[in-house]
Amino acid sequence: MLFKDVVGHSETKKHLIEGVKKNRISHAQMFLGSEGGGNYQLALAYAQYVNCETPKKDDSCGICPSCIKYQNFQHPDLNFFFPSAVSKEVKTQPSSKKLTRQWIEFSKEKEYFELSDWTDYIGAGEKLSIINKLDSQDIIKSLILKNYEAKFKVVIIWWPEKMNTDCSNKILKVLEEPNPNSLFLLVGHNSDELLATIISRVQIIKLNNLTDKEIITGLIEKEGVPDNLAESLAMMAGGNFNKALKLVKNPDGDEKFIELFQTWMRLCYIVDFLNLDKLIENIHKMGRIKQKEFLEYGLRVFRECMIYNYANPELNRLHQKEAIFNKKFAKFIHGGNIMEIIEVFEHTHTAILRNAYAKIAFMNLSLKVCNYLKRKP
């Protein structure tokens, strides 16, 4: 991938290119940013640039043998590791190596993606996806071998937060005793979920969420989206280019959550435990990934309520159905309860990611929300 194909992050690109030109290449780096924001794409473009045989001033050449192999995901010194799970094609002992073919096909098909897109692609469903001991063994084996042709043997680990304990400990040892001709690129999303010792041994490349302007430009250039529609989709994407691309195909976006969330809040406000229990049963059946997305949607609604109350309602990024609800609901979200609401939603979000029993987690959350919605400003 070329730097010019990565949406936004112009200053980070300049920083990375300047580092290569000055031969300041840290052996282990983490591209840290939100899902859908381009951290994987930027890491891939950086890896290609580092090994480009005839680099340009501000990008890889795109035509040398190394670049061509990178763009086809077929360079012998490029290694991918990512969360794997028992799936349609891998019935036992899943690993990145066993799913490499699917990963390459997936990466070619979807330029931007999230973890849920990958698990859906391989048919893993709600099975726990991890980077395991087998992966760490394969990483070590790949580093023992001499580089085939590139200056740097590149190991890209997507979602290092999914490394289990065995894998994390083995990777830590590799980071402590690096091969001088190796380059570790971790593509992370939440550094709090990684061992502190791993964090201390990598250079953090912190990526901000994409701006609306960057997303608008990306949609126009990559998808040919009309200016007005691109502006509208960028507002709803919230810095996530993958979400913006999905909205191009499905402009209704989060509509599957709108009615469910609104019903949930109404039941919490009137404290209707009988129907709350039925609704939570439906949420429980959604599966862990959808539950996570639903909680993220709720946090977005609360943010929009605060914008409506304390800033300028014209800044709200809402569908028409959401806007109608938000106008009525916003008065129940204020300085007297917003911090507690955000805290309990984020706590539940973390619990779901850690495989908590969803029905109990959402019932506990609902009981607290019932109380918070009754608070006065």
**pLDDT tens sequence across 136-194:** 999 999 888 889 999 999 999 999 999 999 999 999 988 988 888 999 999 999 888 88
Q: Which residues contact 323 (CB under 8 A, 6 or more apart)?
A: 316
Is residue 240 within 8 Å of 210, Cβ to Cβ? Answer: yes
Is residue 268 within 8 Å of 370, Cβ to Cβ? Answer: yes
Is residue 156 within 8 Å of 78, Cβ to Cβ? Answer: yes
pLDDT at 134: 95
Burial pattern 215-250, b for ≥16 Cβ within 10 A else e, equals bbbbbeebeebeeebbbbbbbbbbbbbbbbbbbbee
pLDDT tens column, 239-298? 999 989 988 887 655 667 888 999 999 999 999 999 999 999 999 988 888 898 899 889
Q: Can you list the positions of beta strands (E) in the chain?
A: 28-32, 78-81, 153-158, 182-188, 203-206
CATH of domain 3-206: 3.40.50.300
Mean pLDDT, the chain, rounded, equals: 91
Phi/psi for 226 (5° steps) reads: -55, 150
Q: Which residues pair with 15 in a beta bridge?
A: none
pLDDT tier at 126, thresholds 50, 70, 90: low
End-to-end CA distance of the chain: 51
Residue 276 belongs to what H/E stretch? Answer: helix 273-285
The yes-or-no verdict on residue 84 having pLDDT over 70 is: yes
Please compute the mean of the pLDDT values over residues 203-217 and round it to a whole number.
95
pLDDT at 116: 86
CA-closest candidate to residue 308, choices 286, 283, 325 = 325
Is residue 280 within 8 Å of 260, Cβ to Cβ? Answer: no
pLDDT: is 360 or 322 the higher one? 360
